[in-house]
Amino acid sequence: MIQGTGSNVGKSMLVAGLCRALTRRGLTVRPFKPQNMSNNAAVTTDGGEIGRAQALQALACGVPPHTDMNPVLLKPETDTGAQVILHGQRLTTVAARDYATLKPRLLDGVLQSFDRLKTEADIVLVEGAGSPAETNLRRGDIANMGFATAAKVPVILTGDIDRGGVIAQMVGTHAVLPDTDRALIEGFIINKFRGDPALFNEGLAEIATRTGWRSIGVLPWFPDAARLPAEDALDITGATGGAVKIAVPMLSRIANFDDLDPLKLEPSVTLEMVKPGEAIPGDCALILLPGTKSTIGDLAFLRAQGWDIDIAAHLRRGGRVLGICGGYQMLGNTLSDPEGIEGEATTVKGLGMLDIDTVMTPDKTLESVTGRDLASGAPVSGYEIHIGETTGPDRARAWLEIGGKPEGAASTSGQVAGCYIHGLFASDAFRQAFLQTLGAPASALAFQNTVEETLDALADHLEAHLDVQTILDLAR
């Protein structure tokens, strides 16, 4: 099990790289994360949803994603509450203060998934969440040491030297852990090192002396990590240098933002992530409204930033707007939540840029899809993961055909469009055709090949700098 001294120390990338490295050694490998908190989800082959990082790790193993790889997924809807997904399906929505009461039930489900994975793999690589040093959360824990204890798995602790204070991260974690948890840690990794790793030899010795843990290696900074899909919204970055600018407002509950990953890698695209308090740039060719875990809440958030005014001005200048999933719903006339699925039962006005209306319903659509772009004929593939049913006159101008049925809506001017399909831009032919309508030249980017090549490079990086054999030897 790879745990971290904190969030965002590189656990997901480490597990993905090890998945690819050990798979290339001929082992049958499976990734596993007992509990994840993310609004960036992937649809699985068994009809559920898991964290996007575990889907990437499954790809690194060369297998389809399955709900057993991430049995508990928490999807924040507010600052104090989240939707709880168990084995890929919505279980309930719970306030943070009440989540502890669910943990015993969830641990049973976690261990069931882990046991199933063990039967089909030579090795299961487990990823922790946050940090085991949050000892106030230890009671009932299912994400870190609570799981490691219940499943009897050894732990390797990872620290991020780039943020500074990595010796304190390691030694401090050792100091606050109870003896039983401390005994589960077999070694440590120093991640994101810049410069000559030999300069940290004294630091390694100090950590080993103070903790009794062995060093598994110092991992230099891997700049190509940015070419792999990010899971945490804090990791979303833009891209500069392209002639065509696409602006993406950073909604407070932005979800399934892997839609942006292929656009970041396109040489003709400047992808600008517009932060709260910033204006949407007036020189963009396209405003892309992304998915969100809380459409009505984020519509209010969008208006509070003044982005609705910026979008209207953009359309007056002849610009284009594309909404995906929650962003698509926002573009309509009304959003109704009669059963209070996202909060209080309510009906609110949308942006009124598409002649459609959306009603939130309890049933969630979770499906991998294929089809084609009606304008170019280019094949597309992706996935749906949403609640709500959308109707209205602009649906008659569907611009996609998915599973033989029309999908999406467009305004009479053609400037505004939307759909429920995530992952469209990973389809190379569609992406090229779409970007050319914005004035971008054709490029040779093959997105999926780029991801596979980057996973191979990450595996090479880990093999070169970590004691991978010791990691294997530690596995029980």
pLDDT in tens, 279-303: 999 999 999 999 999 999 999 999 9
Does residue 37 belong to any structural domain of this protein?
yes
Average pLDDT, integer, range 245-253: 96
| 263 C-beta neighbours (distance < 10 Å), count | 24
Does residue 233 belong to any structural domain of this protein?
no
Active-site residue 66, yes or no?
Answer: no
**What is the pLDDT, as a whole number, of residue 104?**
87
**What is the pLDDT, as a whole number, of residue 82?**
87
**What is the pLDDT, as a whole number, of residue 362?**
85
* Amino acid identity at 95: A
Q: How far apart are alpha carbons 233 and 361 in whole angstroms?
A: 26
pLDDT of residue 185 exceeding 70, the answer is: yes
Assess contact for 170 and 157: CB atoms under 8 A: yes
Which CATH number goes with the domain that contains 260?
Answer: 3.40.50.880
**Same-domain check for residues 191 and 289:** no
pLDDT of residue 80 exceeding 80, the answer is: no
**What is the pLDDT, as a whole number, of residue 101?**
87
Does residue 272 belong to any structural domain of this protein?
yes
375-391 pLDDT, tens per residue? 999 999 999 999 999 99
For the chain, the straight-line distance linking the first and the last C-alpha, in angstroms and rounded, comes to 11
What three-state secondary structure class fits 280?
Answer: coil
| Catalytic choice (174, 386, 422, 465) | 422
Residue 227 phi/psi, 5-degree rounding, is: -85, -5
pLDDT of residue 241 exceeding 90, the answer is: no
Domain of 30 in residue numbering reads as: 2-226+453-474
**Same-domain check for residues 275 and 381:** yes
Does residue 231 belong to any structural domain of this protein?
no
Does residue 445 belong to any structural domain of this protein?
no
> Angle CA(400)–CA(382)–CA(52) in degrees, nearest 5?
150
pLDDT of residue 323 exceeding 70, the answer is: yes
* Amino acid identity at 473: D
Q: How many domains does the chain have?
A: 2
H-run or E-run covering 128: none
Which CATH number goes with the domain that contains 221?
Answer: 3.40.50.300
357-368 pLDDT, tens per residue? 999 998 888 999
What three-state secondary structure class fits 140?
Answer: coil
**Same-domain check for residues 89 and 113:** yes
pTM: 0.93
Active-site residue 325, yes or no?
Answer: yes
Percent helix, percent strand, percent coil in the chain, to nearest 5:
40, 30, 35
- Residue count of the chain, please give it: 476
Instruction: List the beta bridge partners of residue 402.
Output: 371, 405
pLDDT of residue 62 exceeding 80, the answer is: yes
**Same-domain check for residues 104 and 219:** yes
**Same-domain check for residues 294 and 383:** yes
Contacts of 447 (CB under 8 A, 6+ apart): 261, 262, 265, 425, 426, 428, 431
28-38 pLDDT, tens per residue? 999 999 999 98
| Catalytic choice (325, 386, 419, 461) | 325
Residue whose entry in the numeric block shows the structure tokens 């063990």: 118
**Same-domain check for residues 207 and 280:** no
